[in-house]
Amino acid sequence: MLSANMVELAYLLAAVLIIFALKGLASPETARRGNAFGMLGLGIAALVTLQMDAVQNYAWIVAAIAVGGLFGGVVARKVPMTHMPQTVAFMHSLVGLAAVMIAVSAFLDPVAYGIANAEGGLYMASRVELFLGTFIGAITFTASLIAFGKLHGLLSGQPLTFAGQHLLNLLLGLVMLAAGIMFCVTGEMLPFMMMLVIAMVLGVTLIVPIGGADMPVIVSMLNSYSGWAAAGIGFTLGNNMLIIAGALVGSSGAILSYIMCKAMNRSLFNVLLGGFGGDTAAVSTAGAVGQRPVHSGAAEDAAFLIKNARSVIIVPGYGLAVARAQHVLKELVEALLAMDVQVKFAIHPVAGRMPGHMNVLLAEADVPYDIVFEMDEINPEFSDTDVVLVIGANDVTNPASKTDPSSPIYGMPILDVSKAEHVVVIKRSLAAGYAGLDNDLFYMDKTMMLFDDAKKACESMLQALD
């Protein structure tokens, strides 16, 4: 058994490794090293915790690790990149559920957790800790399940709004807080269970009015919630490692949510109010949206443009992920580079359906990191670019954000695709994006629409180049 000082020293080392992990995950180039640091840090924390005197029965722990590890390993190997956002949301729900189950267990048997007073009840400080960890965990659990359902298509991505919705959420929040305060004062089961149930209901009512356009922010925000839930339970368990790790995850998720909101020119409060963006009906024929004329072309036309260009910028979107086109796109990029065409990728902060989705997708195909650029870095270059190839992206390229004050996305920073000399858009149809808006880019004279599946289109273009 390790001494108390050795345990705290090991926890400090694990915390430092987790900080390095977060730092590494800030860039695709260092993400693999960041993951390694994170796994090493959590591994050290888990091993140190298992040898503590408080652990009395290893059988259940080993069984849980075996079942959880097997389930996680199988799921991780089978989940395609297109399903990664909903997988992350589901994992957040498990963190919230774990926090709730630990809180309930600690409430039912405070003596076993070392948080009981002389009468066998809970210390006042422990009641406050349980209150915070329980309601944050419960909201995280149900909210993440709703987000999972929306992302996976089990629930409609359309915002579900009704009269008095915000008033209902306010009342639920006030009743939950009142029940929590009553529990902190009395330590009784009834207010504790009231608080728990209302928090779970509140998790549902907070997320159902949020549409598909805001899902990247919601995934990031739920990540923050799960961290704070873990930190709250860390106080209950008296585990410094859990407190530190939870606080790091919670704060980093909150900062990322702020960055995502800034990228959409919206406040977090505005996102939480919901009602923006959702399902859109597919439009199968060119010109069906508003009967506006478009210039459509074939893969051979697009191939002619890009092979005769001096510079090409590629803008990937969720359509690239759905079509699993990243590998053939990498081959297309290699062919262009062999022709001495300068190729770069432009990534919008909310491209895809979760933070960093496009970066991970390109890394999976071994696209060189040095040709992948974020929006702020690449935007000044569009005006000096011959061809921009937009693959499955929509709202993040819509010029209406700068030209139409009446547009819901007016003021949202976008990729300045419309400033390039030529634009090629690969898209199945003219259907609107998650914001539910028509894209003015599609109807410009300089834009050629290539109506096809992203993977098939890239394969046809590559064949035309060869």
What is the SS3 string spanning 447-466?
A: EEEEECCHHHHHHHHHHHHC
Same domain, 220 and 151: yes
Answer yes or no: do 317 and 361 share one domain: yes
Range(s) of the domain holding residue 376: 299-465
Burial class (CB in 10 A: 0-12, 13-18, 19+), 235: buried
pLDDT band at 165; cut points 50, 70, 90: confident
Q: With pLDDT > 90 as the criterion, what percentage of the chain qualifies? A: 48
Q: Note the pLDDT tens digit of each residue in 183-193.
A: 999 999 999 99
Contact 317, 398 (CB under 8 A): no
pLDDT tens readout for residues 222-252: 889 999 998 988 888 888 888 998 999 899 8
pLDDT for 457 equals: 95
Q: In residues, how long is the chain?
A: 466
**Per-residue confidence band for 275, with pLDDT thresholds at 50, 70 and 90:** low
pLDDT, residue 251, reads 92
Residues belonging to the active site: 395
Q: Which of 223, 258, 273 is the last residue of a domain?
A: 273
**Can you give the pLDDT at residue 75?**
86
- Write down the number of H helices and E strands in the chain: 18, 6
The answer as to whether 204 is a domain residue is yes
Query: Hey, is 267 helix, strand or coil?
Result: coil
Model confidence pLDDT, tens digit, residues 125-164: 899 989 999 999 999 999 999 999 988 888 877 778 888 8
- Which residues are within 8 A (CB) of 248 and not within 5 positions of it... i.e. 6 or more apart? 15, 18, 19, 22, 227
pLDDT at 276: 58
Task: Identify the pLDDT of residue 217.
Answer: 82
For residue 120 the two structure tokens come to 């066998």
Q: What is the distance in angstroms between the CA of the first residue and the CA of the last residue of the chain?
A: 66
My answer on whether 261 and 363 are in the same domain is no
Q: Which of 286-290, 347-351, 352-356, 438-442 has the lowest mean pLDDT?
A: 286-290
Are residues 232 and 351 located together in one domain of the fold?
no
What is the predicted pLDDT for the residue at 303? 95
CA distance 181 to 431: 49
State the DSSP code for 122: B
Within-domain flag for 457: yes
Residue 38 resides in a domain:
no
User: Last residue of a domain, which of 205, 238, 273?
Assistant: 273
Say which residue, 29 or 165, is predicted with more confidence. Answer: 165
Cα–Cα distance between 3 and 9 in angstroms, integer?
Answer: 10
Tell me, yes or no, whether 27 lies in a domain.
no
Q: What is the pLDDT of residue 233?
A: 86
312 plus 249 within the same structural domain: no
Whether 13 is covered by a domain: the verdict is: no
> Is 368 in the same domain as 449?
yes
Q: Report yes or no on 58 lying in a domain.
A: no
| Angstrom distance (rounded) from CA 5 to CA 140 | 34
Last residue of a domain, one of 257, 273, 289: 273
How far does CA 402 lie from the centroid of its chain? 26
Is the per-residue pLDDT at 420 higher than 90? Answer: yes
Q: Is the pLDDT of residue 460 over 60?
A: yes
Query: pLDDT tens digit string along 427-453?
Result: 998 887 776 788 999 999 999 999 999
Same structural domain for residues 208 and 318? no
On whether residue 243 sits in a domain, the answer given is: yes
pLDDT computed for residue 353 by the predictor: 73
Q: What does the mean pLDDT of the chain come to?
A: 87
CATH of the domain at 455: 3.40.50.1220
**Does 180 share its domain with 232?**
yes
350-378 average pLDDT score: 85
The total domain count for the chain is: 2
Model pLDDT, residue 283: 39
Grade residue 264 by pLDDT with cuts at 50, 70 and 90. Answer: confident
Q: Does the pLDDT of residue 290 top 60, yes or no?
A: no
Residue 33 has pLDDT above 60, yes or no: yes
Residue 84 and residue 213 in one domain: yes
Q: What is the pLDDT at residue 388?
A: 97
Is-contact 438 432, C-beta < 8 A? yes
State mean pLDDT over 16-39: 86
> Is residue 312 domain-shared with residue 256, that is, in the same domain?
no
pLDDT tens-digit series, residues 85-124? 888 889 999 999 999 999 999 999 888 888 888 787 888 9
Question: Does 243 lie in the same domain as 182?
Answer: yes
Do 124 and 174 sit in the same domain of this protein? yes
389-396: average pLDDT? 92
Contact predicate 52/186, CB 8 Å: no
For the entire predicted model, the pTM comes to 0.78
**pLDDT tens column, 292-326:** 889 999 999 999 999 999 999 999 998 898 888 99
